[in-house]
Every structure is written in structure tokens, then in C-alpha cells.
Amino acid sequence: MRRGNVSHWFHEHHVLPVTQWHPEVAEFVDLLRATWVIIVLLLLGLMALITAVLIAWPALSYLGAKLIG
């Protein structure tokens, strides 16, 4: 068994040959490969925002009730 870089092995066995596709498809795949990190970070940020609102909601309602009533 040949020892080597894991990412090199992954690239050899799992990366699709984009150069053989239609040029528009190849550009789209390159765009997806370049932006997947941004998409993941946006989704994580949205989940963090929703979680923060759900956690802070009882405290905000308590403070609002104290201030108003």
C-alpha cells in the first residue's frame, strides 16, 4: 500500500473531471466549489441568530413586563 497525502488520494479518487464537461457546467461547478464555505458560514450564522433570539426571548419579555407593568 502506497503511503501519501490523504488529500492527494482524495483528489485522485473523488474529484470529478470538470474539464470534460460543458464549459458553462464547469464554470458553475467551480463557482460552487469556491462558495461552499460562504454558504456554510451563512447557514451557521442564521442558526446562531435564531438560537440567540430563542434564548433571549424569556429574559426580554421579563424585562419588558418589569418596565411596562
Confidence of residue 4 (pLDDT cuts 50, 70, 90): low
State pLDDT tens for residues 18-59: 556 677 887 888 888 888 888 999 999 999 999 999 999 999
Q: What CA–CA distance (Å, rounded) separates 67 from 61? A: 10
The dihedral through the CA atoms of 58, 64, 65, 66 has a sign that is positive
The pLDDT assigned to 16 comes to: 61
Residue where the block lists cell 462558495: 35
Confidence of residue 12 (pLDDT cuts 50, 70, 90): low
Is the model more confident about 34 or about 7? 34
Cell readout for 14 is 473523488
